[in-house]
Structure 1
């Protein structure tokens, strides 16, 4: 009998464009557009420049473009750079409900890197993205996010497998080679959450998806040349689930494969901060719009939220931007004092702003028992007490951009144009090409 790893490899290598429902193709296309915007914006950031310079210095002269720059570098370095840029400011898309997967920052980079190398057409790019997403998300769901309880950053683990599949599709790996690519990818997983307790060093989080993207390309390229890896790397003794997770649900690896499309669950972020803050921020903005209070009016913010927020995101004294974006109290205080939909609100050192620091200490976090229900990890109960004694409360389970509350096509286009403004020479032409990716003959024709 085939192992779950082999079943996933077989599915990924045999998937055709015609197998994918139109709605799923559209969802993948939207996620790609969203991811390009996040990556291009990421190219403008100072910490991204360090990675870009590294890729150019050691990998210059290749075919892979680093989005938002004129640079061309070797394929693995392009994946590394773009993966880091895409996650460079907490704007990359992920899954609803959360499963420790980031489609945009781990699938788009190998898609572009290998796509540039083989000059792939739009349909091949879409199939590669969907194949990677379907495999990666199932691994994330089966892992039940327990890797993060052990100190690992899940996208640095699951993303390596997704990247290997996406790269492998564009390299036309057969089922055996694809299984080997997954087997190799399992030994390339990495990423620690030490910064969340240290209160500093959060910039390294941005590297985790870059390394996952690079590792996936390495795994696929080696597999294409005959290098092998264990074909039970996920479920086998001393394999991925035993090493990185606790009590996985292995039946989720293949449940509904080819009919229950994980790609449909991709979620676009509304605000450039950790996803666990997006629903509370949406709730706060709803209350402010309804009752007209401002940050200086707030005495306390009470949030009933998930266990993961209490264990990982209750950071009161972050010392860098990335850690502030990972902290729910700081994200809420930033959203109260500034416009949270503007990247500049989080880019302009919120962890050094006296008003934000003060309000963040007055954010009270408690457990929301409802968040323990399947698919309810983002369930939030928010109560705001004002200095004049008034109190307002609201409950939310999602935010604008989630599959349960999707952005319109116009909103997605506006987000893209806002993020790439001033970086791309002809953003509207690029948006038009990306929005109809299936019609693109070759990736080299993109106006980027």
Structure 2
């Protein structure tokens, strides 16, 4: 009887385009499109340029595009760079309910890096993305978010397996080779949350998804050449779950595989901040639209939220942009003084703005029992206390872009054009090509 790792490897290599429901294929295309737009915008940021320069210095001469630029480098360096670009400003898509899975910024970079290298077609890319998403999401779901309680940044762990599936399919691995690639990938997992307690160094978080994407390309390529890893990497002693998680739910790994589609659980971000801030920010916007108060009218804000937010995101004095984006008090304070839908609101050093700093100290977090399992993890009660004594409250459990409240195709296209139009010469043309991805005969011509 095959191990769970081997069963996932079999699924990862055998899934066919026509096995995937049309609606799921459409959701995959939307997530891929979203990732490209976010990565193009990410290429303009100063910390991203450092990674781009590194990739060009050591990886030039390849066929894989660094998004938002004219550079082509070898596939592993393209995966590294584009993974960092995709997560460069907290706009990349992820799974809901949360499982430590960022589909776009871990799968997309490997998808295009290897896809361009082997001249894959659009249907190959869509199928590889779905296969990677289904396996990676199940690994994350089985982990139950416990890796982050131990100090690991989960997308840097789960993402290596997802990108291994993507790269492995495009490189033509069989099920046995894919199982070996998983065994290699397990030793490439990385990413620590030390910045969340240090209050600084948040820039390193951008790198975690890049390393995950790069690791998948490395694992798949080595396995194709005959390199080996343990074939019980997920469930074995000292394997992934034993080392990185606590009390994993191993039954989640194969549950509904091929019939219940994790790709349908991808949610798209509408704000440039950590996803745990999205529901509170949406609630604040709703409350302000209804009552018309200004930032200067607010005495304090109380937010009942999840245990994860209390333990990881209650950062009151961040010293860099990345850590500020990870902080719920700072995201709320920024949204109160600036337009949260505008990425520049979070780019223009909110952690140095005296008014935002002062307001962040007046954002008070408590546990919302409704967010405890089996309730919705993003369940939020937000109360604004005005200086005139009024208390205004609202409850929300999702935001625009979540699977329960999805963006329309028009909204997703508008996000893409907003992020990319000032960076690439023909953003509408690229958007059309991405919308027609299934008809692309050779992905190497996708980016011009």
User: What SS does the aligned partner of 2:300 have?
Assistant: strand
Partner SS, residue 34 of structure 1? helix
**Residues 1:253 and 2:253 are matched in the alignment:** yes
- Alpha-carbon separation, structure 2, partners of 1:244 and 1:367: 26
Task: Look up the match of 1:90.
Answer: 90
- TM-superposed CA distance for 1:373, in Å, is 2.2
Alpha-carbon distance in structure 2 between the residues aligned to 1:188 and 1:375? 33
Shift of 1:445: 2.1
Aligned twin of 1:219: 219
The offset of 1:294, in angstroms, is: 1.0
Match of 1:274 in 2: 274
1:283-302 aligned at under 5 Å gives the runs: 283-302=283-302
Q: Is the Cα contact below 8 Å between 1:426 and 1:447 reproduced in 2?
A: no
- SS for the counterpart of 1:366 is strand
CA distance in 2, matches of 1:285, 1:133: 32
- The answer to whether the Cα contact below 8 Å between 1:200 and 1:318 also exists between their aligned partners in 2 is yes
The 5 Å alignment of 1:169-248 reads 169-248=169-248
Match of 2:4?
4
Shift of 1:172: 1.2
Where in structure 1 are there 5+ consecutive unaligned residues?
A: none
Cα RMSD after superposing both structures? 0.6
**Paired residues for 1:299-314 under 5 Å:** 299-314=299-314
3-state secondary structure, aligned to 1:228: coil
Q: Cα offset for 1:374?
A: 2.6
Q: Is the 8 A contact 1:429 1:447 kept in 2?
A: no
Deviation at 1:375?
5.5
Equivalent position of 2:424 in the other structure? 424
C-alpha distance in structure 1 between counterparts of 2:360 and 2:440, whole Å: 47
Secondary structure (helix, strand or coil) at the match of 1:287 reads helix
Equivalent positions of 1:69-88 (< 5 A) are 69-88=69-88
SS at structure 2 position matched to 1:140: helix
CA distance in 2, matches of 1:376, 1:217: 35
SS of the residue corresponding to residue 285 of structure 1 reads helix
Shift >2 Å, 4+ stretches: none
Report the CA distance between 1:424 and its aligned residue.
1.1
State how 1:10-89 maps to structure 2 within 5 Å.
10-89=10-89
**How far, CA to CA, are the matches of 1:404 and 1:271 in structure 2?**
17
Find the aligned partners of 2:373 and 2:396 in 1 and give their Cα distance. Answer: 14
User: What is the alpha-carbon distance in structure 1 between the residues aligned to residue 16 and residue 156 of structure 2?
Assistant: 27
Q: How many residues align?
A: 448
**Contact map agreement 1:89 1:272 (CA 8 A) in 2:** yes
Post-superposition offset of 1:376: 1.0
State the TM-score, normalized to the length of structure 1.
0.99
* Secondary structure at the counterpart of residue 241 of structure 2: helix
Matches within 5 A, 1:383-422: 383-422=383-422
Measured in 1, the distance between the counterparts of 2:286 and 2:292 equals: 10
CA contact (8 A) 1:97 1:375 kept: no
- 3-state SS, counterpart of residue 401 of structure 1: coil
Deviation of 1:250 (Å): 0.1
Cα deviation, residue 402, structure 1:
0.5
